[in-house]
Amino acid sequence: MSKYTVLQELGAGGMGKVYKGLLIGQAGFQRPIVMKQLRSSQDPAHVQLFVNEARRYAVLDHENIGRIFDYDEVNGQMCIILEYIDGWSLVEYLERHRSISRKQYVFEKAAIVHRDVSPSNIMMTREGTVKLIDFGIATRSGTQDRTLTGKPAYMAPEMVLEMRADNRSDLFSLGAVLFEMLTLRRLFDGKTTAHVLEQVVAGHHPSPRNFNPDIPDGVMRILRAALQRDCSRRYGSAGEMGEACEHYLYDKGYGPTNLTLKQHLHALFPISRRGPHPRLLHRRHLHPPAQGSPASPVTTTGAAALLLLLAAPPPLPSASSAPFPSSADERLRAVRERRAALQKDLARLRSEERTLLGQVEWLEVEVRLRTEELRETQLVLQRTNEQMDATVRRARDLESSIAAARPVLAARARALYKLGELSYLRMLLSVDRPSDIFRGYRFVSALARRDNQRIAGFRSDLAALAATRAELERKTREALELRASLERTRRGLDADRRRKEKLLTEIVERKETHAAYLQELEEAETRLQQLLQGMTAEDVAVPIPVFKGSLPWPVAGRVRVGFGRRKHPRFDTYTVENGIEIAAPEGAPVTAVHEGTVAFADRFRGYGLMVVVDHGGKHHTLYAHLADVRVQAGQKVAAGQVLGVVGGGVEGPGLYFEVRFQGRPENPAEWLTGTEGRSPQP
């Protein structure tokens, strides 16, 4: 039984396939791995290449190079068992960075000439370690080939002209990667491979400052040296290039570590949205961004024996800065807009003549206004609670950072105390040879800067912690005040609802009040007829009479009040209903039954918020007792378009709907399709 288990295919190339798998050992031991499998063992040349790749991996032992675990037969096929890198390829990083901030990385090569240094072969782990992978076409320095190998866009000129490569060829490829990271454009780019190779041979490429004018002079010097067409004018070795980067960093006082990269990667690739792990043999074309895209200042550093150029990302927006609009912010904005509109309606109703219809509408608006105030307070409280949670997490992070920094600073302080006041000078004068003084000076300067940075960082964390605690106290007071306001708003809403129910009950149960209410409704009907008579609109493409009996319902629900004469159950009086009332939940969308033009969209005494749609040929449909209107007068609407949402009437939440021809009401049931599940009442 094999100790390796295949989980999923990650990618495929010319020689074979790559799988994610598990190394299974004793006592439940498991380790994720990558299995690079040879496609066929029939071709001796392919087998030899595969064996050579395994040998190259075996002699390369460095944290910045993907490691090999084994070379074995799995399911009858030869496999190279490699380290599984939990992270992202530089290709994915570049694609994500096309819409976010810049950050630059260039990686040192290994002792063997890689010949395929490119974004897809540079990986970044979740812990911030950079790794070079895929040594399938690696070779000894100075080896001459019979065919082109590698990706044309990252090739050095001698790889095309002389079919040979050495360590300086990989440095050129590193320069091409750095160019792309600084500009988000390829150094050599063309529609065809032949076009790209022509550019490589000519050695001509645009200045990176054409696309990113903020590149520092020090980084430009490194880039120019790495991208020389003549390999003898490039850096002589990776160590020389790395030293140039270190000089630049020491001069600028920068020193990002793996932790810097880790934090930036986690911000760039959130866990909740991270897709499948990168495919080791996956190749994607990188589309260049638009001209004039913003660029960030470049900062760089050298790390261990490999070259690692890093640029610290711009700081994330603080809690006090303007955040990107979220769905919660949009909801809060919408609630505040509705509240402002309701306040205007309420002020207008209070200024009008006091009538029963006016009181009903006034109380309806009062209830809706109080409801919106309640929603607003709830949303603000929710946002405050989220900010408090974020502040608590930030305080915990700062406390952890301070706790971790204390012993380091204490140990450093004790060491400096033992050396005395002239500690740095003594270290500088302790060198054996005068020629080492410059190197010692560099070391002492870097050490002093690091000490100062640690102290400054510690003080900054202490100040930030104090500010965070103060912010948390302020947010706590805000939350307590909002909860008290929420309770007051709830009590006010309950009182408004009781007043509204009392008035509606009086209208239904008291004969005098009911009669006065009916009289006002008749007056409202007269005003409505006058309004409709003055409405004229162009005929629509398909006249509404064609669809009589098949129009869709404006809202789903049961017909609570039918069309025509209606006897009051208590007073033995008759009223005439010019439309139907459809019982529906408050807030349900109300849609147009046919195309037309909105002739009216406002509050109308006796009908509350009302929309009238003119369908041409003197045909109108009316939608009343709405809680909100989503259209405006003069607007063209299509069948099924939302006009508003269901509000409340005298008999409860629902929609009042009419169909009129030449101002006269017609039975809506004769126009609408069926009565599925609606049980209309006569």
Mean pLDDT of the chain: 69
* pLDDT on residue 659: 93
Of the listed ranges 171-185, 259-273, 473-487, the least confidently predicted one is: 259-273
In a shared domain, residues 94 and 71: no
Average of per-residue pLDDT across 449-465: 74
* pLDDT on residue 325: 38
Which CATH number characterizes residue 431's domain? 1.10.287.2610
In a shared domain, residues 128 and 254: yes
Q: Work out the pLDDT band at 635, boundaries 50, 70, 90.
A: very high
* pLDDT on residue 279: 34
C-alpha distance from residue 483 to each of 86, 206, 249, 477, 557 (Å): 45, 61, 52, 10, 37
DSSP classification of residue 644:
E
Query: Is the CA virtual torsion 262, 265, 271, 276 positive or negative?
Result: negative
Final residue before a domain boundary, out of 478, 509, 540:
509
* pLDDT on residue 76: 79
Which CATH number characterizes residue 526's domain? 2.70.70.10
Helices 238-252 and 217-226 sit at what angle, rounded to 10 degrees? 170
Sorted by sequence, the CB contacts under 8 Å of residue 530 that are 6+ apart come out as none
Average of per-residue pLDDT across 182-208: 82
Which CATH number characterizes residue 11's domain? 3.30.200.20
Average of per-residue pLDDT across 616-641: 90
Number of neighbours of residue 672 by Cβ within 10 angstroms: 24
3-state percent helix, strand, coil for the chain, nearest multiple of 5: 45, 20, 35
d(CA 280, CA 644): 53
Q: Say if 516 falls within a structural domain.
A: no
Which residue has better confidence, 44 or 248?
44
Sorted by sequence, the CB contacts under 8 Å of residue 252 that are 6+ apart come out as 216, 218, 299
Final residue before a domain boundary, out of 451, 482, 509:
509
In a shared domain, residues 276 and 178: yes
Q: Work out the pLDDT band at 590, boundaries 50, 70, 90.
A: very high
10 Å CB burial of residue 359 (0-12, 13-18, 19+) is middle
pLDDT greater than 50 at residue 319? no
Residue 542 in tokens: 């398909």
Q: Work out the pLDDT band at 99, boundaries 50, 70, 90.
A: very low
Buried b (16+ CB within 10 A) or exposed e, 58-90: eebeeebbbbbbebeebeeebbbbbbbbebbbb
C-alpha distance from residue 145 to each of 54, 141, 167, 193, 195 (Å): 20, 11, 15, 19, 22
Give the CA count within 13 Å in the CB-facing half-sphere of 96: 17
Q: Work out the pLDDT band at 100, boundaries 50, 70, 90.
A: very low
> pLDDT, tens digit, for every residue of 415-444?
655 555 555 555 555 555 565 555 555 555
> pLDDT, tens digit, for every residue of 541-560?
567 888 888 899 999 888 98
Q: Work out the pLDDT band at 523, boundaries 50, 70, 90.
A: low
Name the residue among 158, 20, 40, 140 with its Cα closest to residue 82.
20
* pLDDT on residue 623: 95
In a shared domain, residues 349 and 404: yes
Average of per-residue pLDDT across 635-646: 92
* pLDDT on residue 20: 85
Average of per-residue pLDDT across 553-578: 79
**Greatest alpha-carbon span in the chain:** 119
Residue 190 in tokens: 């063309």
d(CA 409, CA 160): 54
Find tokens 């409280």 and name the residue.
Answer: 381
In a shared domain, residues 174 and 90: yes
In a shared domain, residues 584 and 619: yes
d(CA 71, CA 543): 78
Which residue has better confidence, 316 or 618?
618
Of the listed ranges 174-188, 340-354, 393-407, the least confidently predicted one is: 340-354
* pLDDT on residue 641: 93
Final residue before a domain boundary, out of 41, 69, 84:
84
Q: Say if 528 falls within a structural domain.
A: yes
Q: Say if 322 falls within a structural domain.
A: no
Q: How many domains does the chain have?
A: 4
Which CATH number characterizes residue 183's domain? 1.10.510.10
Residue 575 in tokens: 């009223």
d(CA 532, CA 515): 26
Could you tell me if 32 and 84 are in contact, meaning their C-beta atoms sit under 8 angstroms apart? yes
In a shared domain, residues 17 and 91: no
Q: Say if 419 falls within a structural domain.
A: yes
> pLDDT, tens digit, for every residue of 276-315?
333 333 333 333 333 333 333 333 333 222 333 333 333 3
pLDDT greater than 60 at residue 110? no
Of the listed ranges 10-19, 221-230, 583-592, the least confidently predicted one is: 10-19
* pLDDT on residue 667: 93
Which residue has better confidence, 166 or 135?
166
Which residue has better confidence, 625 or 381?
625
Q: Whole domain around residue 74: which residue ranges? A: 1-84
Q: Say if 630 falls within a structural domain.
A: yes
Q: How far, rounded to the nearest angstrom, does the alpha carbon of residue 468 sit from its chain's CA centroid?
A: 26
Q: Say if 119 falls within a structural domain.
A: yes
> Is this model's pTM higher than 0.85 or not?
no
> pLDDT, tens digit, for every residue of 354-384?
665 566 666 677 777 777 777 777 777 777 7
Q: What is the DSSP string of 287-314?
A: PPPPTT----------BTTB-B---PPP
Q: Say if 439 falls within a structural domain.
A: yes
* pLDDT on residue 371: 75
Find tokens 């105390």 and name the residue.
Answer: 417
* pLDDT on residue 253: 46
In a shared domain, residues 129 and 35: no
Q: Work out the pLDDT band at 145, boundaries 50, 70, 90.
A: low
Name the residue among 607, 371, 331 with its Cα closest to residue 486.
371
pLDDT greater than 80 at residue 114? no
In a shared domain, residues 533 and 488: no
In a shared domain, residues 59 and 100: no
Query: Is the CA virtual torsion 457, 461, 462, 467 positive or negative?
Result: positive
In a shared domain, residues 467 and 390: yes
Number of neighbours of residue 469 by Cβ within 10 angstroms: 15
> pLDDT, tens digit, for every residue of 493-506?
677 667 766 665 66
In a shared domain, residues 426 and 341: yes
Average of per-residue pLDDT across 398-426: 66
* pLDDT on residue 60: 62
d(CA 172, CA 164): 13
Q: Say if 357 falls within a structural domain.
A: yes
> pLDDT, tens digit, for every residue of 207-217?
888 888 878 88
Sorted by sequence, the CB contacts under 8 Å of residue 124 that are 6+ apart come out as 87, 88, 89, 90, 93, 105, 130, 131, 261, 265
